Amino acid sequence: MRRPAGSDAVIQVAPEIADALRRRAPVVALETTLVAHGFPAGEGVAVGIESAQRVRAAGAVPATVGVLDGALRVGLSDSELERFTAEARKVGPRDLAAA
């Protein structure tokens, strides 16, 4: 069961993403691994933001996904994305409980 972003939900879906899914609009998931670890310092965030802009230009809603403040977030804002620097820890399914 999903609860609105801002609640104590373990998975927080941004209102824009929830609305797009309700309308059955195209949604494209974007990962944060490349933002934090795939490019030289300072370049990853710009690539992440540009990727989201290109998804929008193609007519879909970008849903950047990452773990932030202990919650799995679907639909990160640009300011949230900026927190994914090289110091961010990479997590996978086995790490989610600890993250």
> For residue range 39-97, what is the model confidence (pLDDT) as tens digits?
677 787 888 899 999 999 999 999 999 888 888 899 999 999 888 765 666 666 666 66
DSSP element (H, E) containing 45: helix 44-57
Asked if 70 and 77 touch (Cβ cutoff 8 Å), the reply is: no
Whole-model pTM: value is: 0.77
Let me know if residue 16 belongs to a domain: yes
Residue from 59, 58, 74, 80 nearest 18 by CA? 74
> Is 33 domain-assigned?
yes
pLDDT at residue 30 tops 70: yes
User: Is 40 a domain residue?
Assistant: yes
Look up the domain containing 71 and give its range: 3-89
How many structural domains compose the chain? 1
Query: Is residue 99 situated within a structural domain?
Result: no
Per DSSP (E only), the strands in the chain are 3-4, 11-13, 27-31, 61-68, 71-74
Q: Which of 99, 86, 97 has the alpha carbon at shortest distance from 39? A: 86
